[in-house]
Structure 1
Amino acid sequence: MNAPQFSAHRAERTGRSRLAEIGCGPHTSAAADGSAVPIARSAAELSKTLQDRDVDLVVLDQGIDTSTAVGRMFFQILGAIAEFEHALMSGRTRDGLAAARARGRTSGQKPKLGRRQVELARPMYDEIDERGKRRCTVSQIAAEFGVTRPTINRHLDTNS
Structure 2
Amino acid sequence: RPGLENVLRALKPGDTLVVWRLDRLGRSLTDLVKFVEELGRKGCEFRSLNESIDTRTSGGRLIFHIMAAFAEFERNLISERTRAGLVAARQRGSRLGRPRIVLTEAEINEARRAIKEKQQTLDEIAAGYQISSTTLRRRLETALTRERGKDHILAKHANSPRMAKSRAENEKDGCRDLEMSKGAMADTQQSFDLCTSSEDSRQLLADARKGPRLCPGDRWNRPAKLDTGRTERTKPCAPPPC
1:75: Cα distance to partner?
Answer: 0.9
CA–CA separation in structure 1 for the residues paired with 2:15 and 2:151: 73
List per-residue Cα deviations over 1:46-75 (Å, max 9, x = no partner): 313312322112446754221222211211
List per-residue Cα deviations over 1:17-36 (Å, max 9, x = no partner): 776444322xx14163x754
TM-score normalised to the size of structure 1?
0.51
- Give the alignment partner of residue 148 of structure 2, picking from 104, 111, 124: 124
RMSD: 3.6
Structure 1 residue ranges without an equivalent (≥5)? 1-13, 139-160
Number of corresponding residues: 113
Structure 2 counterpart SS, 1:57 = strand
Structure holding more helix per residue: 2
TM-score normalised to the size of structure 2?
0.37
Residues 20 and 46 of structure 1 are in contact (CA less than 8 Å); yes or no, is this contact kept in structure 2? Answer: no
Give the structure, 1 or 2, with the largest relative contact order (CA under 8 Å, sep 6 or more): 1
Structure 1 counterpart SS, 2:77 = helix
1:69 maps to 2:93: no
CA–CA separation in structure 2 for the residues paired with 1:37 and 1:66: 13
The residue number in structure 1 matching 2:40 is 51
CA–CA separation in structure 1 for the residues paired with 2:89 and 2:49: 44
Structure 2 counterpart SS, 1:83 = helix
CA–CA separation in structure 2 for the residues paired with 1:104 and 1:90: 21
CA–CA separation in structure 2 for the residues paired with 1:125 and 1:53: 67
The residue number in structure 2 matching 1:101 is 90
List per-residue Cα deviations over 1:41-100 (Å, max 9, x = no partner): 442243133123221124467542212222112112111111110010011011001101
CA–CA separation in structure 2 for the residues paired with 1:52 and 1:125: 68
Larger radius of gyration: 2
Residues 29 and 55 of structure 1 are in contact (CA less than 8 Å); yes or no, is this contact kept in structure 2? Answer: yes
Identity of aligned residues (%): 27
The residue number in structure 1 matching 2:12 is 24
CA–CA separation in structure 2 for the residues paired with 1:48 and 1:101: 44
CA–CA separation in structure 2 for the residues paired with 1:100 and 1:58: 42
Could you list the runs of 4 or more consecutive aligned residues of structure 1 that deviate by over 6 angstroms after TM superposition? 117-120
| Greater mean deviation of Cα atoms: 52-61 or 96-105 | 52-61
Residues 41 and 83 of structure 1 are in contact (CA less than 8 Å); yes or no, is this contact kept in structure 2? Answer: no
CA–CA separation in structure 1 for the residues paired with 2:64 and 2:25: 7
Structure 2 residue ranges without an equivalent (≥5)? 104-138, 158-242
Residues 21 and 51 of structure 2 are in contact (CA less than 8 Å); yes or no, is this contact kept in structure 1? Answer: yes
